[in-house]
Amino acid sequence: MKLFASKLDRALAACAKTLPARLARDYGASAFYTEGQITRALTALKTPPQAAAFAYAMYLPEDLYLKLAPERQALAGQESARLAFAAHFPVSPTAPGHFYQSEADLAQISSLLPNP
């Protein structure tokens, strides 16, 4: 854990901790969601815009992500944004507040993380 996390790191960590459970609760477990579903969940969670861009990258399929307005896209590109978002998921299925959406989501997250 970083001693002095950036504002973005803190926002991503909070979003990665709460957004998956919110999406699954409201819309069912899925690897991807619609822009409207993500927007409603982010608004309900009061997610800062800079973290929201990473959430869109994580939960939209590539074709829909590329159609987003530029201000909703992460500057680093979708793959890099997905990696950054996934890096903030709680590290253990037993960690407080942890929630894996589905086996499909686990596979998606695992495919984004570098192999040790």
Q: Is residue 65 part of a domain?
A: yes
- For residue range 13-51, list pLDDT tens digits in order: 889 889 998 999 999 888 899 999 999 999 999 998 888
pTM here is: 0.72
Q: Is residue 1 part of a domain?
A: no
**Distances 52 to 3, 38, 90, 91, 109 between C-alpha atoms, Å:** 24, 9, 18, 21, 18
Q: Is residue 69 part of a domain?
A: yes
Q: How many structural domains is the chain composed of? A: 1
- Torsion sign (Cα): 69, 79, 33, 67: positive
Higher pLDDT, 111 or 69: 69
Residue whose tokens read 């929630």: 99
Q: Is residue 2 part of a domain?
A: no
Residue 46 belongs to domain spanning: 7-112
**Distances 9 to 5, 39, 50, 63, 79 between C-alpha atoms, Å:** 6, 20, 10, 27, 17
